[in-house]
Amino acid sequence: MKNKYVNRSKISEAKFRQIVKLFALDLDATQISQIVGVSRITINRYLMAIRERIAEFCKLESPFQGEIEVDESYFGPKRVKGKRGRGAGNKTIVFGLVKRQGKVYTEIVPDCSKSTLQSIIKGKVDLDSVIYSDNWHGYDGLVDVGYDKHYRVDHGKYEFVNGRSHINGIEGFWGFSKTRMSKYRGIDKRYFNLYLKECEFRYNYRNEDLYLKILKIVRENPLFLS
C-alpha cells in the first residue's frame, strides 16, 4: 500500500489525503476519526506528525523586513494569586513578531530579558526595518544595535496607538492563537510548540489553500510512522 506522503504507512494515500483535507478544515481528531473510519489514536499520531512538519517548515521562514511589530505573550493557566510580573505563574512565554500585512514568527522563550528578546530580533529582522514595540525594558537599546527606527507605545499610560506606532497586528495574532488553542482545554507543555506553530502556519497562509500547502510540505519531507 504505497503512500508517497508517509513512509511505512498503514493507510492508503487516498485516506491520508482525506485526513489532511479535514485537518486543513480545522476538524479535531475525534471528528476526523469518525469521518475517515480510523481510530482516534491513529489519527492523533498522524496529526502530530503533520504538526511536526509544519513546525519545521515555519522555522525556515526568511528574515523579516519592513514594518515589524514585536511583543511577548503568556499562554497557560491563570496567574497564581499573589505573583506579579511578566509571565508570572506557570505560564509559557512566547515572543512574536509580525510584518504588517505579512507573516508572523513565534518562538518560546525562557524569559523576557533584553538579551533573550533582542537576540531573536537580530536573527530575524533586517537592520533597515522599522520596529514597533510597547515600552517593556527588554526592547531598550535596539537603536544601539543598529535598528535606527524603533518606535514605542506606552501601554502603562493607556497609549495604544500613536500615528503608525502600535502593535495591534501581533496582539491580534495572540488573540487568534489563544482562541484556537482554548478548544483543546489544555495542551501538554511537551507539545505546546507544535500547536503554536500550527497557529502561526494557519495565520500566515490563511489566504491560501492549506490542504495543498500541507500536501506539498509533506511530499517534500514525508512522514515516518512505524
Q: What is the per-residue pLDDT across 134-144, written as a single tens digit (0 to 9) for each? A: 999 999 999 99
**Side chain identity at residue 141, one-letter code:** G
DSSP structure string for 79-115? PPTT--STTTTT-EEEEEEEETTS-EEEEEES---HH
Of 34-43, 67-76, 182-191, minimum mean pLDDT range: 182-191
Q: In angstroms, rounded to a whole number, what is the distance separating the alpha carbons of residues 107 and 95?
A: 5
Kindly tell me if the per-residue pLDDT of 83 is higher than 60. Answer: no
Q: At residue 157, does pLDDT exceed 60?
A: no
Cell for 119?
537576540
Q: Measure the CA angle with vertex 167, ends 80 and 206; round to 5°.
A: 95
Residues 57, 201: contact at Cβ < 8 Å? yes
Report pLDDT for 81.
Answer: 52
Give me the mean pLDDT over the 196-215 stretch. 97
Instruction: Give yes or no for residue 129 having a pLDDT over 80.
Output: yes
- Cβ neighbours of residue 77 closer than 8 Å, sequence gap 6 or more: 89, 90, 91
Average pLDDT, the chain: 89
The confidence score (pLDDT) of residue 186 equals 82
- The average pLDDT across 139-151 equals 93
